[in-house]
Structure 1
């Protein structure tokens, strides 16, 4: 299977996925949501303009999602994506609503359709796990110009900086090693804010500047 085949299976066969963001306090939030379309560059989904989910997407521009299909573990296919999202215009929203007729039951009037906000997951990484085969089939792709090596480098820089900050703030030690880039960034900002104007050691300043450089 190539990446387009994987996008097609995720959207057409799995369709409903669990998608994750973080809230304003850096806590993870998940929702079950339908994927409404795909093209060679990524996948599309929609939500309502007034929802917290929509605000988080607009503020963060990053999500992770997972979906699976199968009656039992060894008959199951699972697919995961993570990466950057951007908002689409109303023309794309209308196109996707029309392509998924059941959505008319959720948005039956022109006024309700006008509240729909559509997003495009266009740059990131994709992992495919097929437990129906022996041995298990695992495929990994990047798309939209995403560099998995850069992702891993940023994670390493963030963890190094976090470890140094946590040494200065042991009361936050239980928050060490968050799993997502958003949660790591939120904890870094929280710990930096707690330091106030306290001067940084040479080692901490170096870790901070390396992290900033890696995440630009």
Structure 2
């Protein structure tokens, strides 16, 4: 299966000679227990929109999304080549929805980097993060400290891939920061150990949201 949502699908990444290798490359992203900053999504920047009933206005805030019962899974994914296959992400989205959540993919990729079929089928919520501003807010991107300075085999200006599960109050209840840039590796991705923990966190957050709504209307 071909998938280009990460720089490491077919490359071995090694520390750049002359730089001391550090596990986080001097990045300090948001973690579980932190509050994710409020943000606004513009509809024009969506590459693909699955939840058309949610994204109906020109702009939608993160609070508007979190007001729905489903906890939000934010997946920060970097595009380095033409994306021709999103099957692995559609499968993950199905699992997230079964657990009661909603997936939003945030990427540096633009329309031209996704096939017409992906854009036409609208099977995923994919939003282009212009100048990687949202990734920077999350501590996953720093133009003054590019990942390419730390790792050979990375030529593109990318953010660190990451997954967050966010509750109603913008609280982060789960995080997975992929410092090794190995989030996407074909069929192995669905077998990654963090996926089970992510889905468990989605289920727990959805249950918490449901209890909150029951109390609110009782």
TM-score (norm 2): 0.28
Q: Who wins on radius of gyration, i.e. which is larger?
A: 1
TM-score (norm 1): 0.28
Higher helix proportion (structure 1 or 2)? 1
